[in-house]
């Protein structure tokens, strides 16, 4: 971590002393005959929006100054399973941008090419995992923020069903949009972590339905599935890069060779903006209202706060009702297929500094290509995963997105594991690429 991070800027807080003490406690318990947990001794990084006891929860900015008194529920469950929390990771302030750049924490760089972005907002976690600093890390996804950096950095990143993972101590993360989850180098690693952290509490606003063990799902064949593919983005006016379309088509052919019924499909996407936009503004405003030093927020965050002033409680209630309608319309596609296959992002990871010196309106416009396929599924609530497809000629990873039925993460884990076995992807970025040119 000490060797790699200076060139990548993925670590916001290093917990070296705390991690050593925690690891020693794990060893002592093991020597005393205690049964090790499934994550015994595994070093894990935590995104800045999640509470870690003793650390300031910065949300990627400077507006908080008091350390959290207790772990959030996800972190508590990780520790209970034997994990060792070694660091917190960078993010854009409040995760409001899908690029990991902030005034407080600076620019985070892609380990495959440090001149390029790792995506966001869980970009710090993605870089730590992809560069080999940690084997797995926790991010959050309110509009693609697990899947986008996974696609940019060559990782497996699954957004679970809404309500699958507790948001405690908060009742929700951006209302119906957000969830926490791991970014990992393999499907099985992700499944192991999810089986540890899954499960909602009574205090959570949202609760997922029943689902089998994800580890078991990752270890079994998916069977012959109906897989509909489409390069059509949800957001009109976005044209996918030919490299992304090629990765999609190559994956479709691979799946056909593996015995699945693969066919092009018109998803007939509903417009999610009437549900997504109010919840985005309301989510950022709610987090901004809770910080200790409002005046220290970034200029763009202040702009978001002002731009979202129209999202009063009746508007938010309307947006949540629209979420249910969008979900019903989006899920009609699963009358015709078992899994939807799309690109994860539309363009190649752009050069770092893409948000430098611009306001929120232009920043939102520049964010559209990375959100064009992913944000709908935050509104609909369905599980969706970014699956690596190897490296393109530009030296950067490619990826596709698998979207499943409501509560059907298991099928995505089985199918992604089959893809991984048939077409293994690079696990760690080339160390030579971590030296900035």
Per the annotation, the verdict on 213 as an active-site residue is: no
Active-site option among 92, 121, 190, 367:
121
Joined together, the tokens standing for residue 191 give: 């499944």
- Selecting among 92, 145, 186, 386, the annotated active-site residue is 145
3-state secondary structure the chain: CCCCHHHHCCEEEECHHHHHHHHHHHHHHHHCCCCCCCCCCCEEEEECCCCCCCCECCCCCCCCCCECCCCCHHHHHHHHCCCEEEEEECCCHHHCCCCCEECCCEECCECCECCECCCCCCHHHHHHHHCCCCCEEEEEECCCCCHHHHHHHCCEEEECCCCCECCCCCCCCCCCCCEEEEEECCHHHHHHHHHHHEECCCCCCCCCCCCCCHHHHHCCCCCCCEEEECCCCCCCCCCCCHHHHHHHHHHHHHHHHCCCEEEECCCCCCCCHHHHHHHHHHHHHHHHHHCCCHHHCCHHHHHHHHHCCCCCHHHHHHHHHHHHHHHHHHHHHHHCCCEEEEECCCCCCCECCCCCCCCHHHHHHHHHHHHCCCCHHHHHCCCEEEEEEEECCCCCEEEEEEEECCCCHHHHHHHHHHHHHHCCCCCCCCHHHHCCC
Residue in 12, 47, 122, 150 annotated catalytic? 47
88 is catalytic: no
Residue 77 neighbours by CB under 8 Å, 6+ apart: 196, 197
167 is catalytic: no
Name the residues annotated as catalytic.
47, 121, 145
């Amino acid at each position: 971590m000490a060797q790699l991070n200076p060139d990548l800027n993925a670590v916001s807080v290093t917990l070296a002393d705390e991690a050593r003490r925690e690891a020693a406690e794990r060893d002592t318990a093991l020597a005393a005959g205690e049964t090790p947990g499934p994550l015994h001794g595994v070093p894990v990084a935590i995104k800045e929006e999640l509470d870690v006891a003793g650390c300031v929860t910065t949300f990627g900015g400077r507006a908080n100054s008091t350390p959290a008194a207790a772990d959030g529920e996800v972190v508590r469950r990780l520790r209970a399973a034997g994990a060792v929390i070694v660091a917190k990771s960078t993010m854009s302030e409040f995760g409001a941008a899908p690029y990991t750049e902030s005034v407080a924490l600076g620019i985070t760089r892609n380990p495959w090419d440090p001149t390029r972005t790792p995506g966001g907002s869980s970009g710090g976690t993605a870089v730590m995992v992809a560069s080999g600093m940690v084997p797995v890390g926790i991010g959050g996804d309110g509009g693609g923020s697990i899947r986008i950096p996974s696609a940019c950095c060559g990782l497996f990143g699954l957004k679970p069903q809404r309500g699958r993972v507790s948001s405690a101590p908060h009742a929700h993360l951006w209302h119906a949009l957000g969830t926490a989850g791991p970014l990992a180098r393999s499907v099985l690693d992700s499944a192991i972590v999810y089986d540890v952290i899954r499960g909602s509490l009574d205090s959570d606003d949202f609760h997922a339905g029943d689902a089998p063990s994800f580890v078991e799902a990752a270890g079994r064949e998916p069977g012959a599935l109906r897989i509909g593919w489409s390069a059509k983005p949800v957001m009109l006016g976005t044209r996918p890069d030919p490299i992304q379309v090629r990765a999609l088509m190559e994956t479709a052919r691979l799946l056909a060779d593996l015995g699945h019924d693969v066919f092009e499909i018109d998803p007939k996407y509903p417009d999610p903006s009437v549900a997504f936009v109010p919840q985005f503004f309301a989510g950022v405003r709610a987090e901004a209202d809770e910080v200790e030093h409002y005046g220290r927020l970034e200029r763009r965050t202040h702009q978001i706060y002002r731009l979202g002033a129209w999202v009063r409680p009746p508007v938010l209630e309307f947006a949540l009702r629209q979420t249910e309608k969008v979900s019903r319309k989006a899920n009609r596609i699963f009358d015709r297929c078992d899994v939807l296959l799309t690109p994860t992002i539309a363009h190649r990871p752009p050069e770092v500094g893409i948000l430098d010196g611009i306001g929120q309106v232009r920043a939102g416009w520049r964010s559209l290509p990375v959100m064009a396929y992913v944000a709908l599924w935050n509104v609909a609530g369905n599980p969706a995963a970014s699956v690596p497809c190897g490296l393109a000629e530009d030296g950067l990873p490619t990826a596709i997105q698998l979207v499943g039925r409501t509560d059907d993460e298991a099928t995505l884990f089985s199918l992604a594991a089959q893809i991984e076995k048939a077409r293994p992807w690079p696990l760690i970025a080339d160390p030579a690429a971590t030296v900035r040119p």
